[in-house]
Structure 1
Amino acid sequence: MLCFMPGAAFVPALLVCWSSAAFIISYVIAVLGGHVEPLVPYISDTGTKPPESGIFGFMINISAFLGAATMYIRYLIVEKQNESSKFMSPSCNMIALCIGLLGCIGMGLVANFQELAVPSVHDGGALLAFVSGVVYITLQSIISFKSCPQWNSPCTCYVRMSVAAVSCIAVIPMIACASLISITKIDWIPGEKDYIYHFVSAICEWTVAFGFIFFFLTFIRDFQGVTLRISTEIHEDFR
């Protein structure tokens, strides 16, 4: 179905579908296996123990790759639009891309260094992914407003800015409450020490994660008018 979408729209569409499936499948398997409590675990908690750990790592790695591909294509789109309209500095577009790619690297660290095995690297990757992601979607919202109304409708701009604002608001208590938790564990029970910090932080984490998904969902229409080509040339002097 995604392959028949016009232009390059299949790229952000696949990112949205794949990432949503990665979160939901890992959560369902972890809950059914009794590895986490069903009431708002951390996203990483649902990918810590086998068999869901393998599925989580595999799917998040692909999500990171699809995210990087989506961001790069978005960069090329904005670059072409800016060449004809001159609505912003090209450096702003490049900065947004670099920050977005940092977030994808963070996702890779989260996928490959599990929460209980290497907590410092895992937590650092998660922090990099969420903070870079929030900054990226905020910059993309600003870029959208600068290119409005020629390249984006006001409705799209306000939707993107709303999602970015919610994510920015949610990421602050997510980090603050997580820093107050005194122990690293996945089997949280309501009423125990630090549970309220875990609960608030986990709700905010899921909010930010699906905020990213909804944001990339708004890219689909923009990508419909883009054609991707791969050109192969063989140099005559190469033997």
Structure 2
Amino acid sequence: MWWFQQGLSFLPSALVIWTAAAFIFSYITAITLHHVDPALPYISDTGTVAPEKCLFGVMLNIAAVLCVATIYVRYKQVHALNPEEPQITKLNKAGLALGLLSCLGLSIVANFQKTTIFAAHICGAVLTFGLGSIYMFVQTILSYKMQPKIHSKQIFWIRLLVVIWCGVSAFSMLTCSSLLYSGHFGSDIVQKLHWNPEDKGYVLHMITTAAEWSMSFSFFGFFLTYIRDFQKISLRIEANIQGLTLYDTAPGLINSERTHLLSKDS
């Protein structure tokens, strides 16, 4: 059995591969059609102009669904491993809420380009990167509290390093983008897709885009750490139907369904 056939390890793998493919294909298309500059454009700039914005939107919507599934499975796994730990339960629920909101933000970014509805695009980016970063931090705390009995110390340290990487990238992006969009470098920056080294704010632009790509890769790295954990969990659906037909029945014989979505492998 291959590693990606064990448990649900294909979920985080598919999430990372599919999202990376969305970025790469949109980037190649935008560069080929000369819609953006080859040197570190914003990720969203590679999905701003048709036809690449169509590809970008569809692929990121699918990525958001994969992300929802991954975050939910992680939530159920932690819940199953620590059913009677109140602090871990609260952190786990907080992580689920943060993760789902981050997925919503990813879908918003995919469908609202910055050159059309800038406010919605920025809102989506804040949900994706902002709450996504906090989600990673919460999961790292959970990894710390679950070691060494359930989580290895190695996984905790890897996740901690990835979270630090994400934090440095987020701070750089937030600082430089705030300066860049402060109004001191012109009012057309939102619509600007091509940059020259002589342009005002070019250095800030390059730092911001580099930090954005770096932060995205830190997200990839974090979800890849789930592969080993997801190899130990499987998906099972069990349906129990009461009644001989699907028509309305007498009281007490109403059809019902009971499902066990997730169960931990022994």
What's the TM-score once normalised by structure 2's chain length?
0.85
Shift of residue 53 of structure 1?
0.6
Find out whether 1:189 has 2:196 as its counterpart.
Answer: yes
Residue-by-residue CA offset, 1:5-38 (whole Å, 9 max, x unaligned): 1111111111011011111111111111111111
**Secondary structure class of the residue paired with 2:241:** coil
- Paired residues of 1:2 and 1:13 also in contact (CA < 8 A): no
Find out whether 1:137 has 2:136 as its counterpart.
Answer: yes
Q: What is the RMSD of the two structures over their aligned residues, measured on CA atoms?
A: 1.8
Structure 1 match to 2:238: 231
Identity of aligned residues (%): 41
Shift of residue 3 of structure 1?
9.8
**Separation (CA, whole Å) in 1 of partners of 2:228 and 2:4:** 14
Cα distance change on mapping 1:218 and 1:89 into 2, 3 Å: closer
**Separation (CA, whole Å) in 2 of partners of 1:83 and 1:154:** 21
Structure 2 match to 1:34: 34
**Separation (CA, whole Å) in 1 of partners of 2:52 and 2:34:** 11
**Separation (CA, whole Å) in 2 of partners of 1:4 and 1:74:** 16
Structure 2 match to 1:7: 7
- Paired residues of 1:61 and 1:108 also in contact (CA < 8 A): yes
Shift of residue 230 of structure 1?
1.9
**Secondary structure class of the residue paired with 1:115:** coil
Q: Which structure is higher in helix share? A: 1
Structure 2 match to 1:110: 109
Structure 2 match to 1:71: 71
* Dislocated runs of 4+, deviation >6 Å: none
Structure 1 match to 2:21: 21
Give aligned pairs, total: 238
Equivalent residue in structure 2 for 1:216, among 204, 215, 223: 223
User: Quick one: which amino acid aligns to residue 194 of structure 2?
Assistant: D
Residue-by-residue CA offset, 1:37-57 (whole Å, 9 max, x unaligned): 111110000101111111100
User: Quick one: which amino acid aligns to residue 100 of structure 2?
Assistant: L
User: Quick one: which amino acid aligns to residue 171 of structure 1?
Assistant: A
User: Quick one: which amino acid aligns to residue 80 of structure 1?
Assistant: A
Structure 2 match to 1:170: 169
Could you say which structure has the larger radius of gyration? 2
- Paired residues of 2:114 and 2:122 also in contact (CA < 8 A): yes
**Separation (CA, whole Å) in 2 of partners of 1:213 and 1:203:** 16
Cα distance change on mapping 1:161 and 1:3 into 2, 3 Å: closer
**Structure 2 segments unaligned to the other structure (5+ residues):** 184-188, 244-252, 256-266
**Secondary structure class of the residue paired with 1:227:** strand
**Structure 1 segments unaligned to the other structure (5+ residues):** none
Shift of residue 189 of structure 1?
1.8
- Paired residues of 1:88 and 1:146 also in contact (CA < 8 A): no
What's the TM-score once normalised by structure 1's chain length?
0.94
Shift of residue 133 of structure 1?
0.8
Of 154-163 and 178-187, deviating more is 178-187
Residue-by-residue CA offset, 1:103-139 (whole Å, 9 max, x unaligned): 1111011011112111110111111110011101111
- Paired residues of 1:82 and 1:88 also in contact (CA < 8 A): no
